[in-house]
Structure 1
Amino acid sequence: MRKIVFNITSMFLLCLLGCKDTSNKNNSPSKEEGLAITEVTVKAPFDMPNIKIPDFSSTKAFVITDYGAVLGDKNKTTAAIHKAIDLANKNNGGRVIIPSGEWLTKAIHLKSHVNLHLEAGAILLFSEAPNDYLPAVHSTWEGMECYNYSPLIYAYNCENVAITGSGELKAKMDVWQTWFSRPEGHMQNLKELYFMAANNTPVEDRQMVNDTAHFRPQFIQFNRCEKVLLEGVTITNSPFWTIHPYLSKDIVIREVKVYAHGHNNDGVDPEMSQNILIEDCVFDQGDDAIAVKSGRNQDAWRLNTPAKNIVMRNCLVKNGHQLMAIGSELSGGIENVFVENSKVAPDAKMFHLVFIKTNERRGGYVKNIIVDNIEAGAVKNGILGIETDVLYQWRDLVPTIERKLTPIQDVFLSNIKASNVDYVSRILGQEELPIKHVVLQNVVADTIRSQNHIHEHILDFETNND
């Protein structure tokens, strides 16, 4: 039986690698809300819907200097950006142009049918003052909904939005970096939010801006958005997660460079979001390059939206904890994740290439995770890690209110090479819910410091390398 399973999987992967690449833009873009809408077809080993994204190339330009932006003047520049965004939105499509120069700004709130475009030499420098990100907005903290400081760039319930160009988005970190530590006041606020979410307290009553919470905002959050393009820009520094698609769908992130080495500085956190392509990007992170999430505990069970149909390809990770992390906030479920043709820099300080993590509070599910053709140098831990008891600081901070285990199955890794690892795979399931069907094909390391595989409670593990 085990041999049959492996052969079927091998045929599946060979078919995948030989599939025709149809990941080109549709030659006949449609019109929607006055904009051209392009459909991107993406090769994937699962049913991947075409991704619809906006094309602003023929829309009107709104240059911020025409509306009062002044170099070095935070208030005038912020007002000018918001004026240009409002006009582009009312025009049913427009490009808000940030010209060359360093433009100091407060929070930017996008609207539907707006492309924020940074020309060569343009830097949008985001203020370090927390009060510049008030009033609080409907956001999240580590998988729980709340009202918090506005993300530096925030789009809520928008469609047809884009951030493009060869310029730079940069966060001043003077204050945010002092909030990286987790003192007693912060931890007490975490407990309060945890219990509010568990008790289904209305989100508008979860006001988490006060003197001690210090919940840092995301850099870019697309919250409940559709048809999103993020292309070409460089992002430097971030208070928290860098790019956060939340409850959103139809997203392309292309040719973006991220450098963010602060606390919790993931590159992209697709959370309860669907139909996403991440390609040709460079990630230099203080945390995971990509961390797929789907909410935490009761909040995610209420929202009931899985993260699914996510493709990452042709990316370079210069540094980060994981190339691809799944969880631990995965209570809405995660399925159909495909990573291919990517590299990890030889000197990157990686923990794993792929790490799936959950705990007894999460529920949800993980299935159909496929990773192919990855090159890496030394990895501190291993190529694949799966753990079902990851709680970090939460273990002793708050109790388990409702116990729900996470079924994990159908994980396929192929054609992966690392130079030096502690182990190839470490898979720690639970006796009452073993992990099912993990296949490693041509997954190798030059040096294995401990042992090839460290496993507990797994059914149908297959490899051709032992």
Structure 2
Amino acid sequence: MKILSGLTIMVISMAFRLDFYQSPNRVRSAVTSRVAHGRDLPEVKLPTFRKDTLIITKFGAVADGLTLNTSAITKAIDQCSQKGGGVVLVPAGLWVTGPISLKNNVNLHLAKGALLQFTDQREAYPLVSTTWEGEDAIRNQAPVSGTDLENIAITGDGILDGAGDTWRMVKKSKMTDDQWKKLVASGGVLNDKKDIWYPSAQSLKGASGVTKAGQPLSYYQGIKDFLRPNMLSLTRCKKILLEGVTFQNSPAWCLHPLLCENITLRKVTAKNPWYAQNGDGLDLESCRNGLVEDCTFDVGDDGICIKSGRDEQGRKRGVPTENIIVRGCRVYHAHGGFVIGSEMSGGVRNLYVSNCTFMGTDVGLRFKTARGRGGIVENIFIDGIDMTDIAGEAILFDMYYAAKDPVPQHGESNELPAIPAQPLTEATPQFRSFQVRNVRCKGAETAILIRGLPEMAVKDILIENAVLQSRKGLVCIEAERINLKNVALLTSAKTVMQFQNSQNVTLDKIRYTNDADLLMHITGDRSRTINLLNTDTSHAKKTVVADANVQANALTIK
């Protein structure tokens, strides 16, 4: 290892030529500058409805908390659609129902005080062909679903409850001792290690083996309880509005539009218990032209998540999620506040996220993928994010996602072993062309973690005007054309910034805590062209340490 005195540092007096936007893809950069503020995104088309209103009580629905109202609600929706559309009204009251299907031109409106409670009787949900985490699958029918529809909505001030507790397995580590004892006493079964509770023996059976695709129906009937549905499943639908309502207690993902166009979520709340496995709030998968605004998420997995299919099936589908605006949203407990991946094999592009707040999420801005996914994520613009009490990374680009909790359990480590490069194929994922501006974070484990693959670096990342208070500062591994401008890394760690096999990095106006032991640690024989500009290095006891295999002129200070 060699320290500052032994490392050649080039101090340049001439004007520094910033290469960040002079990448080989100049045309793409010109396009992204216009898209950054949403100016080039298509207008999101809203559905329109006739004023005709059908009340579910006219079809025999009873709000006694006991009567199963599936038939009455279905009849109201069917008749409304057949007559040209309009509003199906769910009045105030407790309405128990089985799964329901939306129909063309129908606005399902839940009045203030209405609770649409989906039954906890799992046999009421038939097995259907659908998808699970980006691949074709057999699952139980979603509490609310729709396929190949147009002009649909769920609106109002009411609540839809998915009875998720009757489906979900629960890890002992997620609960207090008293909660665990109460859960075990309620019924269900435990695994051999006695650390995961399942609602039934059938659910445990499904979890104990690999669920195989393409099997006869009898195979899935034998593990039916394990095949948890998403709460709202919309497939190939156009002109969708979700407004005002609360979706809560989902068996798995809460809101899942797949291959949909022109979708608007406004003032929607999604709530799942914090321990809810796969309890995502919103998963937009292979969707185009969307607006998510003024929504609230408090869930057990990722909050606002963008996907486009998994691995070979996702690449074969080849439909990116694109042209999405997210603004003015709040995320409380979640694995990630705003997330892309990990199932992004069809690609993601042209997303604009602004003025959002993440409080107590495991990760703030979470971009995750893995070898085998493929797909390109590009043209992502983020502006105005406030975060508090982030358990993991405030900003994360991770190409080694391994379906583990983002924050290690006690005794676990998220450190990676040495991993050799692999040949580039269609299964190699790519993250490129992100702009992140005006981010504030009060409390995180790590401010910024960028972790690319040896064969495919994370590329073209701009982070500008950020104040990040965290235990660790910047960790940058296998990255190219990274630009941090006017970023405060207020960390208690001895080393503020770490670089491994990263190149064409520009650090302009970096601020950090006084009396830091070390400002920069550089490792890897492929680290080069790291430029430190307009930064006061006197606040650190030592400016740079470089490992022996780092090129002598890897760092330039101006």
Fold shared by both chains (TM-score > 0.5): yes
Tell me which amino acid in the other structure corresponds to 1:119.
A
Q: 1:291 aligns with which of 299, 305, 313?
A: 305
* Cα displacement (A) at 1:432: 1.3
In the TM superposition, residue 191 of structure 1 has moved relative to its aligned partner by 4.6
Q: Which residue of 2 aligns with 1:387?
A: 398
Contact kept, 8 Å, 2:206 with 2:223, in 1: the verdict is no
* Equivalent pair of 1:266/1:289 in contact (CA under 8 Å): yes
Alpha-carbon distance in 2 for matches of 1:188, 1:174: 20
Q: Which residue of 1 aligns with 2:86?
A: 94
Q: TM-score, normalised by structure 2?
A: 0.70
Alignment-mate amino acid for residue 172 of structure 1: A
Residue 326 of structure 2 corresponds to: 312
1:111, 1:244 → 2: CA distance?
Answer: 17
C-alpha distance in structure 2 between counterparts of 1:265 and 1:102, whole Å? 24
Q: What SS is found at the alignment partner of 2:282? A: coil
Counterpart amino acid of 2:391? Answer: K
User: How far off its partner does 1:306 sit?
Assistant: 0.7
Q: For 2:217 and 2:304, locate their aligned partners in 1 and report how far apart those are by CA, in whole Å.
A: 31
Could you give the per-residue CA deviations for residues 271-310 of structure 1, whole angstroms, max 9, x where no partner exists? 0111111101111111111111111112212221111111
**Whole-angstrom distance in 1 between the partners of 2:204 and 2:439:** 43
The aligned residue for residue 133 of structure 2 is: 142
Q: Corresponding residue for 1:164? A: 155
Name 1:249's counterpart in structure 2. 261
Instruction: Report the 3-state secondary structure (helix = DSSP H, G, I; strand = E; otherwise coil) of the residue aligned with 2:339.
Output: strand
Residue in structure 2 matched with residue 414 of structure 1 by the alignment: 437
1:404-454 Cα offsets, whole Å, 9 max, x none, are 110110111100001122322111111211111001001222x33122x11
Give the unaligned 5+ runs of structure 1. Answer: 20-41, 394-399
Give the conservation status (yes or no) of the 8 Å contact 2:77–2:102. yes
Is the Cα contact below 8 Å between 2:169 and 2:277 reproduced in 1? no
More displaced stretch, 415-424 vs 151-160: 415-424
4+ residue runs over 6 A deviation: 204-207
Match 1:176 to one of 158, 167, 178: 167
Q: How far off is 1:177 after superposition?
A: 2.9
> How many positions carry a matched residue from both structures?
418
- After superposition, where does 1:102-113 map in structure 2 within 5 Å? 102-113=94-105
Structure 1 residue 192 and structure 2 residue 200: aligned?
no
- Alpha-carbon offset, residue 179 of structure 1: 7.1
Match among 365, 374, 380 for residue 363 of structure 1: 374
Is 1:117 matched with 2:109?
yes
SS in 2 for 1:217: coil
Structure 2, unaligned runs of 5 or more: 1-15, 172-195, 405-421, 488-509, 511-558
Asked whether the equivalents of residues 298 and 331 of structure 2 are also in contact (C-alpha less than 8 Å), the reply is yes
Match of 2:455 among 414, 421, 432: 432
Quick one: distance in 1 between partners of 2:87 and 2:210? 39
Describe the shift of the 1:301–1:43 C-alpha distance in structure 2 as closer, same or farther (beyond 3 A): closer
TM-score normalised to the size of structure 1?
0.83
Query: Is the contact made by 1:243 and 1:267 (CA closer than 8 Å) also made in structure 2?
Result: yes
Percent identity reads 31
Quote the offset at 1:211 in angstroms.
Answer: 2.6
Amino acid corresponding to residue 263 of structure 1 in structure 2:
Q
Distance 1:223 1:212 in 2: 22
Given residue 240 of structure 2, which amino acid in structure 1 is its aligned partner? V
Residue 59 of structure 1 deviates from its aligned partner by: 2.4
Against the structure 1 CA distance between its residues 16 and 165, is the aligned structure 2 distance closer, same or farther, given a 3 Å change threshold?
A: farther
Q: Distance in 2 between matches of 1:186 and 1:463?
A: 47
Aligned to 1:276: 290
1:265 is matched with 279
> Partner of 2:484 in structure 1?
463
CA distance in 2, matches of 1:429, 1:236: 36
Work out which of the residue numbers 46, 52, 58 in structure 2 matches 1:53.
46
Q: How big is each residue's C-alpha offset from its partner over 1:130-164, in whole Å with a ceiling of 9 and x where there is no partner?
A: 11111x22321111112311111001111111000
